[in-house]
Amino acid sequence: MTIRSFEPADAPAVSALICTAMRVSNTRDYPEALMEEAIQHQQPQNVLDRAAWTHFYVAEESGRIIGCGAIGPYWGKTDESSLFSIFVLPECQGQGVGRRIIETLEQDEYFLRARRVEIPASITGLPFYLKMGYAHKRGMEALDDEGIYRLEKFRDNGCLVCQRINQIECGENPYFVRELETGYVVIGDQQRIPGYTVFLCKQHATELHHLEPGFRDRFLHEMALVAEAVYAAFGPDKLNYSLLGAGRGLHMHWHIHPRRAGDTPSPGPVWQLGSELSDPKYTPTPQELARLKARLAAALEAVLQKEKQEN
């Protein structure tokens, strides 16, 4: 068996394979009428349309297509992806074809760039995906309105910034202020410099020149908007902007420090403070954090509104 990229000429064979799998395998778990309706959306043209915005693969044996699967952006996002159209011909199931397809998709750039990968799974496919390391999406253990399980996998790449973003995704990051197009705005963990704010890049990238130019320009532009909001919210003498990164925190994140005269022992970057910057005694109380977040969120909203009006 080989796995290769889908070609437009495969569309009729792939469509036929999906329809067969739905009729034979999925009707064990779904009413036939529902499957017949779903099959209307699995015609050759539908397959071609999907292949246009995903990376679509087929499994082939002796010139016959026996399986397929695709991966693409999750609702247009650059840091989340979704798997689609994973089907294996009924008589070829249980031979590791599905596993090989998943392994291929998990080597694809849409997988590697994502922090989180989702699968809309049928009842039929559920045990297989659980075995492949996917779990029920938070708060969605039941079937959705379409009779589908929402499963997901967080990629643990050891990156501390990705971990923080995943916490935001799960609603478990108390420092989170707002999501922008290219990143997430959070209040800094410790507030030795009051108003310290961080802007986390949505892409797990370590250098600006690694970003696609359009995304990079937007990321830099949004950093400037965040900085403007920090300025408006906390009224410093001067802002400091740093894009550093070391160890498990190479993933780009801007540190924005509102500076005031005399806030460090001697003039110069805040980094002269060393471990004092992360001293737990500067961790904001929940009340302080709520106040910081509210001020920054309001300023950010005003900056974004102003930008919208100017364009």
Query: Which residues here bind Zn ion, judged by CB under 5 A?
Result: 159, 161-162, 204, 251
Provide the 10 A C-beta neighbour count for residue 103.
12
CB 73, min distance to Zn ion, A: 17
| Residue 111: CB minimum distance to Zn ion, A | 14
The three-class DSSP label of residue 259 is strand
Asked if residues 134 and 114 have their Cβ atoms less than 8 Å apart, the reply is no
Characterize the bridge pairing of strands 116-121 and 80-88.
Answer: parallel
> Which has the closest alpha carbon to 176: 166, 188, 185?
185
Using the minimum distance from each CB to Zn ion, give the nearer residue, 113 or 260: 113
Residue found under tokens 């003498």: 237
Residue number, 204 or 295, with CB nearest to Zn ion: 204
**66 or 159, CB closer to Zn ion?**
159
Of the two residues 129 and 176, which places its CB atom closer to Zn ion in the complex? 176
β-sheet bridge partners, residue 179: 184
d(CA 127, CA 17): 21
User: Taking the complex as a whole, how short is the minimal distance between the CB of residue 251 and Zn ion, in angstroms?
Assistant: 3
Smallest distance, Å, CB 27 to Zn ion?
Answer: 42
Exposed, middle or buried, 302 (CB in 10 Å: 0-12/13-18/19+)?
A: middle
Which residue, 50 or 164, is less far from Zn ion as judged by CB? 164
Minimum separation from the CB atom of position 163 to Zn ion (A): 8
